[in-house]
Amino acid sequence: MMMNMNSKFLLFVVLVLSISLVPSCVGQDFIAEFKGKVDGRVRFYFHPDEDNLMDIVVDIRDGLEPGIGHPFHVHEFNVKIPGNCSSAGPHLDPTLVGKVPPGQTYKCDPTQLDKCEVGDLSGKYGPLIPNGDGIVQTIYHDHSLKPNGDYGIAGRSVVVHLPDVNRTRLDCADIISLHNQRRRLNRLSRY
């Protein structure tokens, strides 16, 4: 069946409109899975219909010292070198870059979240404190993290630190989109 030029144009317009009307945040669920010194995951669920709320669900099963607070953050980059958490770069910090005066150190104030680094999860919500069995299961609700862009978690990582003075990086995990992961697995399952 041959389509005339008007029909082809109309079909094109319908396709463009249907694609552009799909919310950009559909399928914007992410996960960081720890498989090294820490065993567990951090999942991120974005709710654009709830004032751009990001739920952060922490489920750590092993690798953290019970009763001791471990700082954790979203870091700027994916882990470039497997097992080398320093390759994740600094904390995600699009709002405070260059705003800490010389001679002063950054400290998050949970009562003034606009003064906290966007990726400073333990500064905003407290460190991860495992129970007597070494398990942490908790959820946080964040309004500053987004799926993409300057405040986005896509292409970044989560780093869990030791509670020492140097904030030594204990373990790290890339944040990956579950939507993209499912799509990739569906493509692979066809073969």
How confident is residue 51, by pLDDT bands cut at 50, 70 and 90?
confident
Start-end of H helices in the chain? 5-20, 121-125, 178-189
133 token code pair: 């069995």
5 token code pair: 């030029």
Average pLDDT taken over every residue of the chain: 82
State how far the Cα of 143 lies from the Cα of 152, in Å rounded to an integer. 11
- Provide the whole-model pTM: 0.78
Ordered domains of the chain (ranges, CATH): 25-189 (2.60.40.200)
More confident residue, 17 or 135: 135
pLDDT given at position 169? 96
Q: What mean pLDDT is predicted for residues 82-98?
A: 87
Q: What mean pLDDT is predicted for residues 147-160?
A: 95
Asked if the model's pLDDT at residue 105 lies above 90, the reply is no
pLDDT given at position 10? 45
pLDDT given at position 2? 53
